[in-house]
Amino acid sequence: MKKLELHWKILIGMALGVVFGFIMTNFDFGKDFISDWIKPFGTIFINSLKLIAIPLILASLVKGISDLKDISKLSQMGGVTIVTYIITTVIAVSIGLIVVNVIKPGDSISEETRIELIGAYESDADQKREVAANTKNSGPLQALIDVVPSNIVYAASNNKNMLQVIFFAILFGISMILIPPNNSKPIKEFFDSLNKVILKIIDLIMLFAPYGVFALLATLIVEAPQWDLLKSLLLYSITLIFGLSLLIILYVIIVKIFTGKGPNYFLKGILPAQLVAFSTSSSAATLPVTMDRVHNHLGVKEEVSSFVLPIGATINMDGTALYQAIAAVFIAQTFGLDLSLGAQLGIILTATLASIGAAAVPSAGIIVLVIVLSQAGIPEAGLALIFAVDRPLDMCRTIVNITGDATVSMIVAKYVEKSGDPKVNNGDDNYKNVKG
């Protein structure tokens, strides 16, 4: 059992959780037993994910931005890279919102199941509804005011203030770039080390994931045993995979428009990296393969690929951003929450910024989703609904993450070729050690 990969352990935990949950529904004491002795482990797992959200986003964002300290030496290429990454992320979130609002996977749940589900998480759902109602009564610029914290310690004490933490992290990282390197070096080394510690904590938390998934699914089955809930999860999974497929198609079109390379050339060139991404669920672990395929098989110069791809593994998570949008709206639909246009625009902003700080490691997306749910006023208890199917979907969205990186690298390479930027060769020395 120890030799099994983590994703297989999680899948086994999912299956056993479903079977155990259905078995316990046949006994009068089953629901109470799971509530008293199984559900707490699922709650502990969810709490551990929420625990690491703020440290993760703070450490990752500050490290990622401070790693760009030599971007001025790369002339305009750095700016083109960052802007393109941000644009593709916004597009990914927008596609996710369009797909989930058209298919509406959460609406497939019957009213009876929805009432039971809300009853199971009544306090959390009521609290979020109250927050949403207060938001509607706020002024038009209240969202902008809420981004800037008056007290960073207070902001960091509550996940719902995550956008304020992101604002502080970005401001802090930029300020590190603007001061002399000898002054910023100690704090840079601190955040680099902190980021490594946070990633190791995530590894430790994920070791508990098979047991957490078992508890979450068993609890889900006994508390809402209707088949339509399981069907809605299947429809949610199909919706997400459909959205990810649309994003891959968009990448192919973008590559054709900007570089003139056809779909076969692009997909054949990146396929081995996609397979590694699927098996590892990690953009960082896939990075060496991605760089090899982009340079040797997609014709991108090494000085470009060695700059663009490591940064992409750090800040460009298109698949994760699309997933956050779909998952957030799906959970809202499941709980019967009607998200306003403003709330969904807020999801675009939050998911875009949060995905920049998402660690390039397996299942980091589910942690970042805590940020999006909190900011949009959606019950975080809904994580229990989707985490059961998150691991295989994580494997799929990692494919999109690295494909997006490859797409941007080809666009930047074309830009460099046309502009004849003489400083581009600095990129290999400055960024070859950047990790996602």
CATH 1.10.10 fits 6-431, yes or no: no
CB contact at 8 A, 184 and 176: yes
* DSSP class per residue in 329-380: HHHHHHTT----HHHHHHHHHHHHHHHHT--SSTTHHHHHHHHHHHHHT--G
Q: Mind listing the pLDDT tens digit for each residue in 104-160?
A: 998 877 777 777 666 665 554 445 445 545 544 555 566 578 778 899 998 888 766
b/e code 113-125 from CB counts within 10 Å (16+ = b): bbebbbebbeebb
CB contact at 8 A, 301 and 295: yes
**10-residue averages of pLDDT along the chain (436 residues):** 70 85 90 92 81 78 71 62 88 92 86 68 50 52 76 82 78 87 92 87 82 83 70 90 96 95 93 81 77 90 80 79 88 82 78 62 63 72 72 85 94 83 44 36
Query: What CA–CA distance (Å, rounded) separates 191 from 59?
Result: 6
pLDDT at site 429: 39
Crossing angle (nearest 10°) for helices 209-223 and 181-207 = 60
pLDDT at site 415: 87
Q: Mind listing the pLDDT tens digit for each residue in 66-115?
A: 776 555 544 567 788 888 988 998 899 899 999 999 999 988 777 777 77
Query: What CA–CA distance (Å, rounded) separates 152 from 161?
Result: 10
Domain borders along the chain are 6-431
pLDDT at site 369: 76
pLDDT at site 69: 58
pLDDT at site 302: 78
Residue 137 host element (H or E): none
Q: Is the pTM of this model over 0.75?
A: no
